[in-house]
Structure 1
Amino acid sequence: MLYLKSFNGKVLKWEENIAGICLFLISFLVFFAALLRAVGHPQAWMSDLSQLLFGWVIFLGSDLALSQKRHIGVEFFEEKLPMVWRNRIADIWSISIIGFLGFVAYYGWFLATKSRREFDSLEISEFNVVIFLSISFLCLIAFDFYQSNKKHIQGYLMSLVVLLVFVGYILMNWDVSKQAEPLSYAFLIASVPIGCVLMIRTELVSVLERWSRKNG
């Protein structure tokens, strides 16, 4: 259980860093897009990129809020119940949340794979997308490693190996085009199923922690 909590904490920290960077970029892009539009040099790609990043900020932020119990809730009636009933209601609520998120994740992934819309102002090749995401995750691993004062090097090396194997598998087995094309809306819609899967993980960790406290 301690290992699970440690791993979940790492994932949440990475999500927080990614969401923070995306939020900074959104503010930067929106500000300069408005500034350039005011002087007669509009840049449509800035608005489209900020829209793409905003979808990811929403779902990463939702997972962070869920992990800290900061979503809206009504506790007036719950606080008047015995602790046994509070735990039972919490378990029922968690199961309901996981079921709903699973439903949204399934259809979100379905929509992402079927999406035909494109960002006309954003052109990039599939190969460059893979390389960009790989370098981004590599930077996250390195940054987190130095933040931890270079502790637990085996875990970071394992993460690096998994990343390299996964990227190598994609480049060798997928038909990754190097020709620049308009970026698909699938990269925006994918934030829905991935965000829901992250929230399912968070809710499962919460359930396991609650059960370990009851049985401990």
Structure 2
Amino acid sequence: MLWKIFDRTEKAVALATLTGVVVAVLTAGIGRSIGAPVAAAPQYAQLALIWSCLFGADIAAREGQHIRVSALFDMLPRRGRAALSLLFLALILPFLGFIAWQGWFLAISNWERELGASGLSYGLVTLALPVGAALLALSFIRRFLAVGLKALFDPASGTEPTPEDIAGEEAL
């Protein structure tokens, strides 16, 4: 139940940040065209875009929908696929941990820096790095626990949603 609320909240925030990008870019364009440019609009668009990308990447990782090249998986037997998935997971999780750790220091060091004319902290932009890495690590762990090692990174594992699954999903 908690994960369902978390997932729905994350999708809502992703949609809100994507909407923020559109609104900021539209505001900047209209402002320029009528001779009253909004100086902070590009910075708001940048901030919303980075967070939108972060949440979108996490949602895609959690659902196993990242772009992948499956040629290597297709050549391997089932046990080889599981071993390759274990290797990928063993490389990805420490890397994401490193990114989260170093990204935190980057965000803290940039907190006093101002994001252009917006008056916001540039730390809000760089904070996306550790937050995104932590969310991605959590999503990979959740996916591993849900589908197992053999289906973790395998597009041919049958983990794609069926039409019944799609029809049964609740709207955001």
- Scaled to the shorter chain, the TM-score interval is 0.7 to 0.9
Q: Indicate whether 1:117 and 2:113 are aligned.
A: yes
User: Paired residue for 1:45, among 11, 21, 40?
Assistant: 40
1:138 corresponds to = none
1:203 corresponds to = 140
1:24-173 aligned within 5 A: 24-115=19-110, 116-122=112-118
Distance 1:206 1:23 in 2: 25
2:131 corresponds to = 194
- CA deviation map 1:131-190 (0-9, x unaligned): xxxxxxxxxxxxxxxxxxxxxxxxxxxxxxxxxxxxxxxxxxxxxxxxxxx321001110
Letter in 2 for 1:187: L
Q: Give the conservation status (yes or no) of the 8 Å contact 2:85–2:150.
A: no
Letter in 1 for 2:60: A
Deviation (angstroms), 1:59: 0.8
Question: Greater helix share, 1 or 2?
Answer: 1
Pair 78,39 (structure 1): closer, same or farther in 2 beyond 3 Å: same
Q: Give the conservation status (yes or no) of the 8 Å contact 1:91–1:207.
A: no
Distance 1:47 1:78 in 2: 42
Which protein has the larger Cα radius of gyration, Structure 1 or Structure 2?
1
1:19 corresponds to = 14
TM-score by length of 1: 0.64
Letter in 1 for 2:30: L
- CA deviation map 1:6-46 (0-9, x unaligned): 43343222111101011112112211211111111001122
What residue ranges of structure 1 are gaps of 5+ in the alignment?
1-5, 123-181
Higher relative contact order (CA 8 A, sep 6+): 1
Letter in 2 for 1:68: E
Distance 2:121 2:23 in 1: 23
- Percent identity (aligned): 27
TM-score by length of 2: 0.79
What residue ranges of structure 2 are gaps of 5+ in the alignment?
152-172
Question: Greater strand share, 1 or 2?
Answer: 1
- Cα root mean square deviation, aligned: 2.0
Q: Which secondary structure does the structure 1 equivalent of 2:115 belong to?
A: strand
